[in-house]
């Protein structure tokens, strides 16, 4: 793995940790009513998406070991370019359903335990 790849993986992991910290103990209703929290969550998802995008550019093999890397990049593009289409429920759902898997995959990559996709 290239040294730059590790930096992007660390960025993804740090953003995931922040997302979990920002939203700990919160409900969808609290999230939907808190503009500051929504902005913070969107920003961390943007960072994750950009890091995955850069990783896929410099190290496609490593990026391909992230299960939904193309969808992560697509989310980043929506957040940045189609911000008016962002739905707080969708982001909230991603926090609970997709973020834990992403965090595990990135940790495994950083620890050198990830397998090539079949």
Decide: 42 and 90 in contact? Cβ < 8 Å: no
Residue 9 lies in a domain: yes
Express each pLDDT in 58-73 by its tens digit: 999 999 999 999 999 9
Residue 37 lies in a domain: yes
Indicate the number of domains in the chain.
1
Bigger pLDDT: 4 vs 113 = 4
Residue 78 lies in a domain: yes
Model pTM score: 0.90
pLDDT above 70: residue 53: yes
Residue 27 lies in a domain: yes
Read off the DSSP letter of residue 66. Answer: S
Residue 79 lies in a domain: yes
pLDDT class of 117 with cuts at 50, 70, 90? very low
> Residues 2, 10, 21, 81: which is the catalytic one?
81
Query: Is 71 a residue of the active site?
Result: no
Residue 117 lies in a domain: no
Q: How far apart are CA 15 and CA 61, in angstroms?
A: 22
| Structural domain range at position 55 | 3-110
Express each pLDDT in 76-113 by its tens digit: 999 999 877 788 999 999 999 999 999 999 999 999 86
Query: Is 81 a residue of the active site?
Result: yes
Residue 115 lies in a domain: no
pLDDT above 50: residue 8: yes
Is residue 59 classed as helix, strand or coil in its secondary structure?
coil
In the predicted model, what is the mean pLDDT of the chain?
92
Residue 34 lies in a domain: yes
């Amino acid at each position: 793995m290239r040294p730059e790849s590790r930096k992007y993986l660390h960025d993804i992991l740090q953003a995931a940790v922040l997302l979990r910290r920002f939203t700990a103990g919160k409900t969808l209703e609290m999230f939907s009513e808190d503009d500051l929290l929504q902005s913070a969550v969107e920003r961390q998802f943007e960072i994750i998406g950009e890091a995955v995008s850069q990783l896929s550019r410099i190290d496609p093999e490593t990026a391909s070991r992230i299960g939904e890397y193309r969808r992560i990049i697509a989310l980043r593009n929506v957040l940045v370019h189609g911000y008016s289409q962002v739905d707080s429920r969708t982001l909230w759902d991603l926090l609970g359903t997709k973020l834990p898997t992403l965090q595990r995959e990135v940790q495994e990559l950083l620890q050198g335990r990830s397998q090539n996709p079949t």
